[in-house]
């Protein structure tokens, strides 16, 4: 039976950074052979404090809000393939919609796959919310962690608040969650969060430079429990090979799931990768680290006897 459906302040301020000319990887690059894509976490019910919702457009490429995220930013110019997520736009509350309208030009990034992003520019200091621009200096030495799939963003916001010296680029396709995370970042004064909209495979493959990331977090991706759907799971050898090229030596790849068969697959795939080593001496699962918040939905699942497995692997130096 499927475990609890989790939300996170989690996975994709701020402004779009200056970018370098787009470059294609060589045919031998694992990015050219990838066959899966970004994970999407289930999300929590809307808050009763904001019952009013706004409709969101579903046509590919149509802006959902003026200056805000679009429905499928890379869909018109990138290949079709098996995806590990279902785009779920959902109903956006008035508060979430207002956050998207005001904050997306500063803190949002559409994953269109047309350019390389400069993370130092993306995480510039000193957002000027009234003008939609970002003042201050680039932060080229800021370590940046990519989080794939963050649900409603509560866990992501908690992790950002606890570690302001690390930038979190949180990627998801769930519009209400994007708006909720932006609102949380503003409310809590978090300048180290950026929200990316779209396919995280394209983000990794086309828009991030090699060894650009100091960490990768994938918490409770869709387990695709039916056997015929297992091919849609994000954690596959090809994805791990691609992720390794974008992680710095010593960077942590941290996965968590409450679906036992998927945990076993994650452990098998990661253990087989020559690019990563298990941080656990016995080669098994890791205890939940303090920096990963325990959400109320995860807690409810634990109360019901569901097992949650964390896997923490380190990018090898060679």
Enzyme catalytic residues: 222
The beta strand positions in the chain, using DSSP E, are: 19-20, 53-54, 92-93, 108-110, 116-117, 127-128, 133-134, 144-148, 167-172, 193-197, 213-219, 247-257, 276-278, 309-315
Which tokens belong to 195? 């929200």
Burial class (CB in 10 A: 0-12, 13-18, 19+), 1: exposed
Q: Are 157 and 7 in contact (CB under 8 A)?
A: no
Q: Are 51 and 39 in contact (CB under 8 A)?
A: no
In angstroms, the first-to-last Cα distance of the chain is 40
Q: Which residues of 11-45 are buried (b: 16+ CB within 10 A; e: fewer)?
A: bbbbbbbeeeeeeeeeeeebbeebebbbbbbbbbe
Angle at CA 63, nearest 5°, toward 184 and 150?
35
Q: Are 275 and 300 in contact (CB under 8 A)?
A: no
């Amino acid at each position: 039976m499927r475990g609890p459906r989790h939300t996170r302040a989690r996975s994709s301020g701020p402004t779009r950074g200056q970018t370098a000319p787009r470059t294609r990887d060589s045919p031998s690059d694992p990015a050219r052979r990838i066959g899966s894509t970004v994970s999407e976490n289930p999300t929590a019910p809307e808050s009763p404090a904001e019952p009013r919702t706004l409709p969101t457009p579903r046509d590919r490429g149509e802006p959902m809000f003026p200056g805000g995220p679009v429905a499928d930013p890379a869909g018109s110019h990138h290949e079709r393939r098996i995806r590990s997520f279902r785009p779920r736009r959902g109903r956006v509350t008035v508060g979430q919609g207002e956050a998207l309208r005001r904050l997306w030009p500063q803190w949002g990034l559409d994953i269109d796959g047309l350019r390389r992003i400069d993370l130092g520019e993306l995480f510039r200091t000193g957002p000027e919310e009234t003008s939609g621009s970002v003042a201050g200096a680039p932060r080229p030495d800021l370590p940046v962690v990519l989080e794939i799939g963050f649900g409603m963003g509560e866990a992501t916001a908690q992790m950002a608040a606890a570690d302001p010296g690390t930038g979190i680029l949180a990627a998801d396709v769930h519009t209400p969650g994007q708006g909720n995370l932006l609102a949380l970042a503003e409310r809590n004064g978090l300048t180290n969060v950026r929200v990316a909209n779209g396919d995280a495979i394209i983000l990794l493959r086309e828009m991030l430079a090699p060894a650009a990331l100091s960490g990768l977090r994938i918490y409770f991706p869709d387990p695709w429990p039916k056997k015929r759907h297992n091919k849609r799971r994000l954690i596959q050898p090809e994805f791990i090979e691609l992720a390794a090229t974008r992680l710095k030596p010593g960077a942590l790849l941290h996965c968590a799931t409450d679906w036992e068969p998927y945990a076993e697959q994650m452990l098998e795939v990661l253990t087989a990768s020559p690019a990563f080593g298990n941080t656990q001496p016995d080669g098994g699962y890791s205890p939940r680290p303090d920096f990963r918040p325990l959400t109320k939905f995860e807690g409810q699942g634990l109360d019901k006897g569901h097992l949650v497995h964390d896997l923490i692997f380190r990018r090898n130096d060679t």
